[in-house]
Amino acid sequence: MDKRSVLPGIIISAVLTVISALFVVFLYSTYLLPWKYLLLIAAFLLVVCGGVLLLTARSEKIVKFIIGCFVTVLSIAAMVIIFLGLRHLTSTIKGMIHSKTEIAQVSVFVKADDPAQNLDDAAGYTYCILKDLDRESVDLTLVKINEELNITVPIEEYSALVPLVDSVLDGENRAMVISYDLLNILTETEVYGDLMSKFREIAVKHIEIEVPDEPIINVQSKPSGVFQMYISGIDRFGSVNSRSRSDVNIIATVNTNTREILLVTTPRDYYVPLPISNGVPDKLTHAGIYGIDCSMGTLEMLYDIDIDYFFRVNFTGFSDIIDAIGGVEVYSDRTYSLSDKYFFNEGYNHMDGETALVFARTRRLYGDSYRANNQMEVIKAVINKLSTSTVLLENYMPLMESIGDSFQCSMSYETIAGLVRKQLDTMESWHVTTYAVKGTGTKRVPFSSSVNSFVYIPNMDTVEIAKQKMQAVINGEVLE
């Protein structure tokens, strides 16, 4: 046998074998695939490599040799495509993982008719600030202002939001340093409904704030495979890393052993103490202004639980992911329309991202509790659609592109990969149930705004039912 005729085949099969081995190692390193799939892929590639060796064993047998080369090129191309896709997936997942910091948007405001157009024009002003609320981000903003102006600006402290705002409106002071979202909560009231039109922003600073890891309370540890996640939909378009009011407040209790998910939603206007309010009640949505840890801590105190993770999405990402998977089938328990553009039938409705967002945000017709139910119906629809493998494969690239900067999760990559691996291993569907706690609408003075606002007084009987349902899922029970 001529060694020159067998050498090309040996080289080709050796190259394919090395690439195949590296590919299997890469698949293992992603932690996404169950062992049965890894072994199946490895066995398949081993057979392909053996077949290529047989086909290319004698280069003078042109037809077999060409077929062997074609199989080699096709196999390598397939591995490269899968490699690039999985690398994109792992990069996207890692990009979602919480960076342990949040961005607080803090602004300098003057009256709308004030002549100052920038910080230099307002260098001689006294800057009024809140004495306690959101003080960390305000102090860091003042440091930046002092560095920029190369002076130490005078400040005046106020103990509550309304006196601070009134001092500028009345001309007692000419500038204030405050987060946009904290100032904007006064627009929820009748007296200050048009407040933002009376002020002008002359400077804005984006302050990076570290998020603590420690839970507010510690309770008995959960069984393996069980966790609770806070799902927050923030009231902001753009970066999901920004502190903002949370309009969606859902606790997902997940038991991966029984494939059970319970979604408990809490109205945004629930009147409950915050971890920072010394027992004084505030609207739940206001907790987000002080950071994701404040929102989680508020719910931990309300339900006497220890939330393990959070998942945060802004409204941009909410609609993008639904469009990326080709829309969802969402259940509505009644028929109604919103203007001439949106019409919902009782039963299941196919919704694109924009329509689902409107469905989940609208409370004008039926109130906040109805909106909360709609939000959970949309989440259920997304879970149901994503739990089918064909949807993920058919919509892989647009789904990855839609996630981008619109989602944030505090789970580690290893934990997320473990959940993906378990889902791929079983391909079983999930049983999702929902529950919404209730309350009574009235007017009270929230901790943050210091002026009468609409709130929901909690119905503690429904809170207790929610706690019992959470514990049942943790214990492995299947809810009706």
| pLDDT tens column, 33-63 | 899 999 999 999 999 999 998 888 876 778 8
pLDDT at 5: 62
Say whether pLDDT at 98 is over 50: yes
Say whether pLDDT at 12 is over 50: yes
Say whether pLDDT at 305 is over 90: yes
pLDDT: is 65 or 469 the higher one?
469
pLDDT at 284: 95
Residue pair 153/127 in contact (Cβ under 8 Å)? The answer is yes
Residue 168's Cβ-count burial label (10 Å; 0-12, 13-18, 19+) is buried
pLDDT in tens, 226-282: 999 999 887 555 566 778 888 889 999 999 999 999 999 999 899 999 999 999 999
Mean pLDDT across 347-369:
79
Say whether pLDDT at 319 is over 90: no
pLDDT at 314: 74
Is 206 in a helix, a strand, or coil? Answer: strand
Q: Which residues contact 303 (CB under 8 A, 6 or more apart)?
A: 251, 264, 463, 466, 467, 470
For 23-27, 202-206, 214-218, 412-416, which range has the lowest pLDDT when averaged over its residues? 214-218
Q: What is the largest CA-CA distance in the chain?
A: 101
Say whether pLDDT at 1 is over 50: no
Count Cβ atoms below 10 Å from residue 198 Cβ, excluding itself: 14
Q: Which of 215, 393, 405, 392 is nearest to 310 (CA)?
A: 215
Q: Which of 369, 377, 362, 333 is nearest to 459 (CA)?
A: 369
pLDDT, averaged across the chain: 86
Q: How far apart are CA 428 and CA 407, in angstroms?
A: 25
Residue pair 283/454 in contact (Cβ under 8 Å)? The answer is no
Q: What's the token pair of residue 422?
A: 């378990």
Percentage of residues in the chain having pLDDT higher than 70: 89
For 178-182, 186-190, 347-351, which range has the lowest pLDDT when averaged over its residues? 186-190
- pTM as predicted: 0.82
Q: How far apart are CA 263 and CA 470, in angstroms?
A: 9
Residue matched to tokens 């890891």? 213
pLDDT at 362: 74
pLDDT at 58: 75
Band (104; pLDDT cuts 50, 70, 90) = confident
Say whether pLDDT at 217 is over 60: no
Count Cβ atoms below 10 Å from residue 143 Cβ, excluding itself: 12
Is 194 in a helix, a strand, or coil? Answer: coil
Mean pLDDT across 445-456:
90
